[in-house]
Structure 1
Amino acid sequence: MAFSIARAVVIKHGNVFFLAPEEGEIPFTSGHGFGLYYHDCRYLNGYELLVGDVHPEPLGARASEGARAMFRLTTPDFRMADGRAVPRETVGLKWERVIDSEQCLLQERLEIQNFGHEPVEFPLAMRFRAGFEDVFEIRGLLREVKGKLYRPGWRDKCLCFSYEGGDHVTRSLAVHFDPLPPDVKGSAVQFHLRLQPNEINVIRIVLAIAESDRVPATVCAQVNIRRDLPTVVRVMRSECEEWMMRETEVHTDSEAVNRIMKRSLMDLVMLRTTIGGDEFFAAGVPWYATLFGRDSLVTSLQTLAYGAETAADSLRLLARYQGDRVSEWRDEEPGKILHELRVGELARMNKIPHTPYYGTIDATPLFIILMSRYADWTGDLSLFTELRPHVERALEWIDRYGDAAGDGYVSYLGHSDKGLLHQGWKDSGDAIVTADGRFAEPPIALVEVQGYVYLAKRSIADLYERVGEPDRAALLREEARELRRRFNRDFWMEDEGCYALALETGGRPCRVLSSNAGQALWTGIVDEEKAGRVVDRLMRPDLFSGWGVRTLSYKERRYNPMGYHLGTVWPHDNSLIAAGFRRYGFDEAAGRIFAGLVDAAREFEDFRLPELFTGFGREEYGVPVRYPVACHPQAWAAGSVPFMIETLLGLEPEALEHRLRVVRPFLPDFIGRLDLRHLQVGKGAADLRFSRKADGRVDVEVLNIAGTLTVEVEKQ
């Protein structure tokens, strides 16, 4: 990508999203990711605005409401048609944009105001470009000569762009105006404005997306351009508020934490997407605004304390797409949970295997973990009963197909020539390396994936026992114990006091220091006597940047602070690492990670944690350095702070026993009080207050209990 999207203004609702730079225009140059997207296609990839003969300059832009953005602009010096000069900052513009996904529209309201003391007269021009590129093309992953792009033209009182795809679907973008522009030429329109001092002129623009199997001439249908924009905004706000009211409320005496939590939960609202009536969290905008097995599962795990409905829907949806055959093209195997589902032109043409694609080694055990954790929070065994055949097939996949190396560890060996080489969460092509800088050779068994398998078998065993299968439960626990024993022998690096990143072909350890070992702590597979050494190693300066644990130590040969998985800091990774620290009793270290991410979030727009940021140290720059093409919002980044709050408070739900255990609650020194409202555990709910004392102890006050629930506080 030639253009960074790190500061992009992003709005999304349903399956439609739009991102633009701070000036609101979409560059007509190539190599950027800005534009209007729907169903894995970028419909609009250029949008230019000229006042007189100049581009307005940005004053500020905000998109804090998810589906609505506001851009404030002004003009530099320019001349009117009669040659008279108009001083800079005379003309101001307010550009409001709202996604109306119900009708697949981007609605805009452009106010142009004369702040000067004299009348001004000038042309206002808009120029558009629609390329209808598949998202895989924009990311530079695939180039294809496909369908036919038609010449844009003015038809039926709107500017029409259309494209007949290689998949025999016609995609169109119709640009409607109110009032109608007096001048139209090609893909550009022009208005002639005359404004008295302080006068405001308003232009409404609606960009309507359509997919059809009809011929292009009939695609650019009319829309209600006079649809009341404030009404659309009110509906969006009401929908957001309704979802937020169902969630557990968190309020602290730290304004920063409150703002981060609000932003995180609003981002999760924004990323909600549905397929066939089932809701899931789309992974991230713009590159991953679709169903990802791993991302949707991890985000659902992170947010169970705030509402479990999306988790249940996600499990059903992923079960629906569970692998049922062997397909090398899609890396599919019976029982395997998908990696990524795409619905765009390249997928429909079978040019990419994402229909869906199954190249993930960890989504299948994560599916089982979420099933178990869902029961812990809800006390509901009916979902397990409903999806039990899928759980059975997932367990069978782990034991049969997951062991690609035949050594008892779940490992990967990709087969698809359009798929992924690396199939863990660090899935970039250069992510898994050895101490001498060589790329690891498949089959590869990742350290954290063995932990996922361990936790999956341990946790799902409890559900089997509850439904009357003690022998099956005992077998699963024994398999988990044996895996733990072998893991601590084969992955442990005694000289480093840490675990190897992976075992490559032949069972050779990749003896590099990475964040992955912290996720192994989260699963509980780590021997007790080794845990403290792992925590100590991860928190040394070569791995802990001051903002979070780096994906790779700066002492490693392949370290790159800007490498996607070779030294950057990922919030979701750190949320799981902090949970691992807490599991083994290292509360202060977990608190340092939480504090680092809170401080990092303060430095990003709207207190939003992005997908990742670079690994440059805090002591070197004092602020986190942006990763230029990181997704934002991004689902498991948005889930990170909510999950860490659950972790630090020590919330251990036992809904099947109508009980909530609060184990060793911890608050960092910048939070003196934290209130939880409407924390749902099974059929009961609790309001709790956590207060930090001068000596660091945390008192827990049960303010209210509704329904059947017992709260037990354990402060050992």
Structure 2
Amino acid sequence: MTGAPEPFNAGEPALTGASGGTTTLVEGSTFCLSDGTGDIEPGTAHGLFFRDARVLSRWQLRLDGRAPHPLSVAHPEAFAARFVLRRPPGAGQADSTLLLVRERLVGDGMREVVTVENLGREATAVRLDLHVDADFADLFAVKEGRAVPGGADVTAAGRELLLRDRGDGARGLSVSATGDVTAVPGALSWQVVVPAGKRWSTEVAVQPTLAGRPVEPRFHRGERMEHTEPARKIMAWRAASTAVTATDPVLTAVLRRTESDLGALQIHDPTRGGRPFVAAGAPWFMTLFGRDSLLTAWMALPLDVGLALGTLQTLAETQGTRTDPLTEEEPGRVLHELRLGPDSTAVLGGNHYFGTADATPLFVMLLAECWRWGADPEVVRALLPAADAALTWVQRYGDRDGDGFVEYRRATDRGLANQGWKDSFDGVNDASGRLAVPPIALCEVQAYAYGALLARAELAEGFDDPAGAARLRARADELRRRFAEAFWLPDRGWYAVALDGRKQPVDALTSNSAHCLWTGIATDEHAGALIRRLADADMETGYGLRTLAASMGAYNPMSYHNGSVWPHDTAIAVAGLLRYAHLPGAVDLAHRLAEGLLDAAAAFGGRLPELFCGFSRDDFSPPVPYPTSCSPQAWASAAPLLLVRAFLGLDPHVPRRRLAVSPHLPGRWGEVSLTDLRLGEAVVRVRASGERAEVEGLPDGWTT
């Protein structure tokens, strides 16, 4: 996620409401934040957001002038919710006989069906008022608490409210309803009589406008939720995806939520042929993020290779071609984030911001992995120039001083101070807690660069360039040797999190080191020592791996990056441990981390959040939420898939017609099945339990 550029804080998510209980709906580039009654409260970070702008800042339903009492909230899908409420009981009464249900879905707009049911024995008169306002504030302004109320001109036209951005008029909104509705500026009202035992309902539609033109919503009036375009998209995604199930009901439920969330977080950009890519997460990152989207697509490969290819193609089209200090664009550099809001230029220097050190090598790694998983060779071939431009950036621009390592230092005071995945301003510090001084060379970025060199070497070999493959492997070997010399701390037993501007090791024990296991840059000797340190209680919480060891000076279990637990980070650590499964303690630690992470998922209702607090399980159980964590969040949602893939030892190589499976499944998982796993033209089924596996459906000539 994006960290904390100065002077703006576009990093950690804002608190969404004073009392918590925020309900988040998401579909593509549309998301809605409300309280547990369905209301969007003015003066908070609630709202309906479309293309990085808040198009609704107030949406409050009042029943006879009073707020209804909440009973429950249900989420049939990530883009839909049902709020069940009641009329407040009368004076001296304990019960109410009037039920109110709000059924909401989002998708390039919003639709809400409000139903009033009279459970009493006599007819009742009801007045409903829906208060509506918009400020058209940029997402960053809302997130940072800078939004100023009163940004819309509101008019009533018949049974419809029309809202227009007072700033430039480019954005607008219409709100219309069925039934005998009265529209006045700022509100829609109904006065109805509901007979005993009967229901009354109205349907309210919210439609954004851009440049004066209405945006076509992804639903129609009167359409059943399961027939809407968002529902059809989810069903198509599920039909095309591998079905992953397990005997363990918790794992199966978490995987079901993963599938649903990844479907809802996908954006199909019509300006780019409708290719899918996955947004980083709701509420604040519903857009393309280089690092987040690439890692999520990697984790989701067992479900669908097409999502990874769409992400790669979109990032290739936005790849840097020139040098621009405001956006930190450089030739070959892969995008950090894409924004469409009205303040994007002020916050990021432009709609495209490139301030990341790791997305560029991750791009090359994912391209080779797509090829291994059966992507169309011609599509992969078409992306090779982008991969070569990325490696040129790594060598020419990423390595700022020619020492063989990728460093970062922001080009202006507007950019991100830290440009790895821990990109908050205090995310990189030494064992005493002192902040690292740039330029900074992160250990995991070197690991990704190593993985990228090997990935491009394999592609070179596969596309008839053996000499190029040999040169790339030689570069990778040299990087691995120099990395071991510069980053390993023999007196500590872990890798320095970074080298600072003086090329001195930044000696904190962090989860970043585990990423070095994931790409294989760690030697067996170093990996064995690191595994022992990661297993210590100051790193392992019982619910996952801390981002920073409890023994370090900057440790704070309630921080964003200095002691919290990030599910994607723990999942990468598990995948790294299983790469070194031959070493003592690696599999046992992987089991503990994965089982703790799934226990955390169960505590959070089956959906892993972006992060949670890093308290020990012995001290706090269930895990303590981080108050501003994004949920659903792409790489957290995809993390269970990486766990399954890693424990299966699932390693396909379609061009070589090979499928390797070497399982080390936790006992409590029981049997894990992957049905309709697509590997190029092959469709197979994998079943495994413990250390045994069966593969069905492999074509003739394949090996396992």
TM-score bracket, normalised by the shorter chain, equals: over 0.9
Matched residue SS, 1:70: strand
Question: Which shows bigger deviation, 381-390 or 482-491?
Answer: 381-390
Question: Which shows bigger deviation, 546-555 or 19-28?
Answer: 19-28
Report the aligned-residue RMSD. Answer: 2.2
CA distance in 1 between counterparts of 2:38 and 2:221 reads 22
Question: Aligned pair 1:318/2:310, yes or no?
Answer: no
Report the CA distance between 1:435 and its aligned residue. Answer: 2.2
CA distance in 2 between counterparts of 1:473 and 1:38 reads 45
Provide Cα deviations, 1:508-560, integer angstroms capped at 9, x if missing partner: 11111110000111010001111121111112111111110011111111111
Equivalent residues, number: 683
Provide Cα deviations, 1:388-407, integer angstroms capped at 9, x if missing partner: 22111111111110012432
Q: Pairwise mapping of residues 46-85 of structure 1 onto structure 2 (< 5 A)?
A: 46-78=58-90
Q: Determine the structure 2 residue equivalent to 1:650.
A: 649
Contact 1:97 1:107 in 2 (8 A): yes
Provide Cα deviations, 1:669-700, integer angstroms capped at 9, x if missing partner: 212212221122232121122133xxxxx222
CA distance in 1 between counterparts of 2:209 and 2:252 reads 39
CA distance in 1 between counterparts of 2:184 and 2:144 reads 32
Contact 1:160 1:220 in 2 (8 A): no
Provide Cα deviations, 1:351-374, integer angstroms capped at 9, x if missing partner: 532421000000000000001111
Counterpart of 2:686 (choices 688, 691, 699) is: 688
Q: Determine the structure 1 residue equivalent to 2:692.
A: 699
Q: Determine the structure 1 residue equivalent to 2:306.
A: 309
The verdict on how the C-alpha distance between 1:567 and 1:481 changes in structure 2, with shifts beyond 3 A counting, is same
Provide Cα deviations, 1:307-360, integer angstroms capped at 9, x if missing partner: 10011111111111111111110111111001001111112x555324210000
Question: Aligned pair 1:25/2:22, yes or no?
Answer: no
Question: Aligned pair 1:491/2:484, yes or no?
Answer: no
CA distance in 2 between counterparts of 1:383 and 1:675 reads 29
The verdict on how the C-alpha distance between 1:706 and 1:472 changes in structure 2, with shifts beyond 3 A counting, is closer
Contact 2:134 2:150 in 1 (8 A): no
Matched residue SS, 2:181: coil
Q: Determine the structure 2 residue equivalent to 1:153.
A: 155
Contact 1:127 1:189 in 2 (8 A): yes
Q: Pairwise mapping of residues 16-165 of structure 1 onto structure 2 (< 5 A)?
A: 16-28=30-42, 30=43, 32-78=44-90, 88-99=95-106, 101=107, 104-140=108-144, 143=146, 149-165=151-167
Please list every run of 5 or more consecutive structure 2 residues that lacks an aligned counterpart in the other structure.
1-13
Q: Pairwise mapping of residues 351-500 of structure 1 onto structure 2 (< 5 A)?
A: 352-378=348-374, 380-500=376-496
Matched residue SS, 1:328: coil
Q: Pairwise mapping of residues 502-517 of structure 1 onto structure 2 (< 5 A)?
A: 502-517=498-513
Contact 1:72 1:95 in 2 (8 A): yes
Contact 2:16 2:22 in 1 (8 A): no
Question: Aligned pair 1:179/2:179, yes or no?
Answer: yes
Counterpart residue identity of residue 466, structure 2: P
CA distance in 2 between counterparts of 1:221 and 1:637 reads 31
Provide Cα deviations, 1:157-192, integer angstroms capped at 9, x if missing partner: 311211044xx452112111111424x443123322
Q: Determine the structure 2 residue equivalent to 1:346.
A: 343
Contact 2:109 2:217 in 1 (8 A): no
Report the CA distance between 1:223 and its aligned residue. Answer: 9.4
Contact 1:405 1:505 in 2 (8 A): no
Q: What stretches of structure 1 move > 4 A for 4+ residues in a row?
A: 4-7, 219-226
Counterpart residue identity of residue 701, structure 1: E
Counterpart of 2:262 (choices 262, 268, 278) is: 268
Provide Cα deviations, 1:395-438, integer angstroms capped at 9, x if missing partner: 11111100124322101010133210000011111111122222
The verdict on how the C-alpha distance between 1:535 and 1:375 changes in structure 2, with shifts beyond 3 A counting, is same
Contact 1:107 1:229 in 2 (8 A): no
Report the CA distance between 1:226 and its aligned residue. Answer: 7.6
Q: Determine the structure 2 residue equivalent to 1:284.
A: 281
Provide Cα deviations, 1:248-288, integer angstroms capped at 9, x if missing partner: 11121111111100000110000010231221000001110
Counterpart residue identity of residue 368, structure 1: V
Matched residue SS, 1:365: helix
Contact 1:95 1:109 in 2 (8 A): yes
Contact 1:658 1:682 in 2 (8 A): no
Contact 1:575 1:640 in 2 (8 A): yes
The TM-score with structure 2 as length reference comes to 0.93
Contact 2:220 2:228 in 1 (8 A): no
- Name the % identity: 35
Counterpart of 2:223 (choices 229, 240, 244) is: 229
Counterpart residue identity of residue 280, structure 1: F
Counterpart of 2:246 (choices 242, 252, 255) is: 252
Provide Cα deviations, 1:191-217, integer angstroms capped at 9, x if missing partner: 2232332221112111111112x4xxx
The verdict on how the C-alpha distance between 1:515 and 1:425 changes in structure 2, with shifts beyond 3 A counting, is same
Counterpart residue identity of residue 151, structure 1: D
Q: Determine the structure 1 residue equivalent to 2:325.
A: 328
The verdict on how the C-alpha distance between 1:709 and 1:656 changes in structure 2, with shifts beyond 3 A counting, is same
Q: Determine the structure 2 residue equivalent to 1:659.
A: 658
Matched residue SS, 1:126: strand
Question: Aligned pair 1:613/2:583, yes or no?
Answer: no
The verdict on how the C-alpha distance between 1:289 and 1:150 changes in structure 2, with shifts beyond 3 A counting, is closer
The verdict on how the C-alpha distance between 1:6 and 1:587 changes in structure 2, with shifts beyond 3 A counting, is farther
The verdict on how the C-alpha distance between 1:255 and 1:420 changes in structure 2, with shifts beyond 3 A counting, is same
Please list every run of 5 or more consecutive structure 1 residues that lacks an aligned counterpart in the other structure.
80-84, 693-697
Report the CA distance between 1:466 and its aligned residue. Answer: 2.3
CA distance in 2 between counterparts of 1:490 and 1:224 reads 53
CA distance in 2 between counterparts of 1:598 and 1:224 reads 34
Counterpart of 1:11 (choices 11, 14, 25) is: 25
Report the CA distance between 1:19 and its aligned residue. Answer: 2.3
Question: Which shows bigger deviation, 7-16 or 501-510?
Answer: 7-16
Q: Determine the structure 2 residue equivalent to 1:82.
A: none
CA distance in 2 between counterparts of 1:226 and 1:156 reads 20
CA distance in 2 between counterparts of 1:485 and 1:641 reads 33
Counterpart residue identity of residue 45, structure 1: S
The verdict on how the C-alpha distance between 1:225 and 1:660 changes in structure 2, with shifts beyond 3 A counting, is closer
Counterpart residue identity of residue 575, structure 1: A
Q: Determine the structure 1 residue equivalent to 2:196.
A: 197
Contact 1:12 1:66 in 2 (8 A): yes
Matched residue SS, 1:553: coil
Counterpart residue identity of residue 189, structure 2: Q
Question: Aligned pair 1:521/2:514, yes or no?
Answer: no
CA distance in 2 between counterparts of 1:224 and 1:691 reads 42
Matched residue SS, 1:333: coil
Matched residue SS, 1:589: helix
